Amino acid sequence: MQTMMGIDLGGTKIEIALVDAIQGVIYKDRVPTPQHAYNAILDAICALVDKTMGQQKIPLPQAIGIGIPGCLDPSTNRIRGSNTVVMNGKPLQQDLQHRLGCKVHLQNDANCLAVSEAVDGAAKGCPVVFAVIIGTGCGAGIAIDGKAWTGNNAIAGEWGHNPLPWPSAEEIQIAPCWCGQVGCQETWISGTAFAHDHARHTGERINGEQIIAKMRAGDLSAQESFARYVNRLARALASVMNVLDPDAIVLGGGMSNVDEIYQALPSEIIRYTFTKPIATPVLKAMHGDSSGVRGAAWLTK
């Protein structure tokens, strides 16, 4: 199989990789994202592709896969919902195809994670995979038979902007979300939300890593913050179980590195699913930071 080329176009960095179906990532490079200028983003992507071809002495591939925050609006073929806001409303796929001279596949970055982990990662061989990126925000993607499932309107996986289910009295005091709605799951289960919740309860403004360190040191308030977090994540995932019933759930992003989550989640999820027991494993993404770029490369197959 020919080497596949993938690009992860993130908010802070643009990463390129060559991926071999057997050996995995065989070449990687990255540059900072010029966040404030669309044309500079196009220039940076083209320069990375040229540099990769030159260094690896390979021809231009027939197709390149690119993972993006946000998605391609199927009605306009323009980007929408990206937190790199200069890309919104832009015909990124057409512009890159024109500049590069090859086919460009664009896909939401959480869908790329789902594909990467379904093809040869933690959920290898699972027919239906629900993957979540929990970091600054909270995105999700679905892979079916190793392919991204985007849906009829390209909103499949925008689960972070569903409301938190089975809310407590405290959680009904809902917070506005950047998307225009209120009380979205992202406002409760992102890494940012974890820190905000801890600050609300304790008055202590520390980040997620610091809360986890305190929890491991035996601090009671940090343990309670973590328990609230796991319970909310479990409710959000139980609603996925009741709709999609995937073969595996994979967690990526910063919060996915907290190993205690995997011990605590399963028994919390089954408190809320319609039937029990639940055989679906919740797994840590195997390829970590590389999942986005790997999944992008697999889009070309």
Phi-psi region of 51 (alpha: psi -120 to 50; beta: other; left: phi over 0): alpha
- Residue 138 CB, shortest distance to Zn ion, in Å, is 9
Two tokens at 159? 């689960």
Q: Is 179 in the site for Zn ion (CB under 5 A)?
A: yes
Q: Which stretch binds Zn ion (CB under 5 A): 7-15, 72-80, 183-191, 205-213?
A: 183-191
Position among 128, 140, 177, 238 found at the interface with Zn ion (CB under 5 A): 177
Q: Is 236 in the site for Zn ion (CB under 5 A)?
A: no
- Given a contact cutoff of 8 angstroms between Cβ atoms, the answer to whether 141 and 296 are in contact is no
Min dist. Cβ of residue 40 to Zn ion (A): 29
Ramachandran angles phi, psi of 239, nearest 5°: -70, -30
Q: Is 191 helix (H, G, I), strand (E, B) or coil?
A: helix
Q: Looking at residue 87, what DSSP letter applies? A: G
In angstroms, give the least distance from the CB of 52 to Zn ion. 36
Q: Which is nearer to Zn ion, 161 or 214 (CB)?
A: 161
- Our finding on whether 193 is near Zn ion (CB under 5 A) is no
Among 161, 228, 287, 294, contact with Zn ion (rule: CB under 5 A): 161
Element at 48 (helix H, strand E): helix 38-56
Rounded to an integer, what distance in angstroms lies between the CA atom of residue 111 and that of residue 113?
5
Listed ranges 63-71, 180-188, 242-250, 251-259: which one lies at the site for Zn ion (CB under 5 A): 180-188
Do 132 and 249 touch, CB atoms closer than 8 A? yes
Of the candidate residues 79, 184, 195, 241, the single one contacting Zn ion (CB under 5 A): 184
The residues of the shown chain that bind Zn ion, judged by CB under 5 A, are 161, 177, 179, 181, 184
